[in-house]
Structure 1
Amino acid sequence: MVTIKDTTLIKSFNEGDPMAFKVIFDRYYKILCSYTYHFIRTPYAVDDIVQDIFVALWNRREKFDCIEKISSFLFVSARNACLNHAKHEQMKAEKLKEFVAQTDEAVYDDYIIMAEFDQKLNHWLESLPTECRKIIDMSVSGMKNDEIAKALNISINTVKNQKVKGFKILKELYKDEYLTILFYIFISLGAK
């Protein structure tokens, strides 16, 4: 049943009267929020959706000739916005799952590569004399020449000489792989 008051309200609303909009807003805001919350259960999203619906209502104000059409517009818009929100949230969740799966896979791949790298580096270092191996291993672990000298109770020059000797041996034994060895050692130093 259309009352004279509603007819006047619609006419004023169609003409862009902010007070008429406020009356409609006050009449429907809480119930629309409640209706929207029933679907999405996220308070901040409910407020955003309902505000967007009222903006759309204001932008189309000239198209409504009765309060029932406004009511229908508000609730249909709310339902559609909730469905769109749910689809968007589902897509975000799927993208997040995909990202986590890729990240887990990448971490696992990195772990395998590093394990293979450590195994290969240990194999190369095992072919060195004990003192050379120990010094280069300490160096690869991130220790500086003076720290190695102090730890082994030898001079810094001995550390430097043993490193040079070790790299020469590796170069002779693994001519084809020498650049790879240097690369692995360089990468190892960067990872520490």
Structure 2
Amino acid sequence: MKSKSYAFKDLNQKTDLELFQLIKERNKGALDIIFSRYYEILCRFGLAYESDINVVEEKVSDVFIQLWNSHERLQEIKKPKPYLYVVVKNKLMEPVLYQKMKQSLDQGLEDEHATSPCIEQEIIDQEQRELYVRKIEGILDHIPKKSRQIFEMSRLDELKYKEISEILGVSVKTVESHMAIALKTIRNMVVKNKQY
């Protein structure tokens, strides 16, 4: 028990950047330290964008889950604190209308499948979705590593170019260049796949 206490104290003395590197290496203790440093602060910050504390707490928790699950991208983040703030802000700024529309579409699909007696069609639909996901992953695998990271931050994390540049410690022009490379690679792969 004593050694865990010392290990925690040792981790607690590390910088945020060092902790992010340890999270990348799957060190749960490092995630616990980042969580204890920022959870309450980020919840307070989130209240500027959403008045329901339960929603804020859920979104902030999601950020830490995302941090753990996308650990391979942490190596490139040079400024962990702004990164956390930006991701929380973006999660809380997601349009409510979009969420309602998505729920409505999901409900419509559920209703359609509930009334559809054709199990074969469901299997075909599932296979097509899996094929589509594999094609997307195949295309993304052709994007150079740094360009893919920036593309994912822009398209998946919905960060603006300026936010990405601050998080990664690069210029906005560099972000734009990497996005251009990613988009060109995607275009080329789509054209190539259409030929077959």
Q: TM-score, normalised by structure 1?
A: 0.40
**Which gives a bigger RCO, structure 1 or 2 (Cα 8 Å, sep 6+)?**
2
**Greater helix fraction, Structure 1 or Structure 2:** 1
> Which structure: larger Rg?
1
Q: TM-score, normalised by structure 2?
A: 0.39
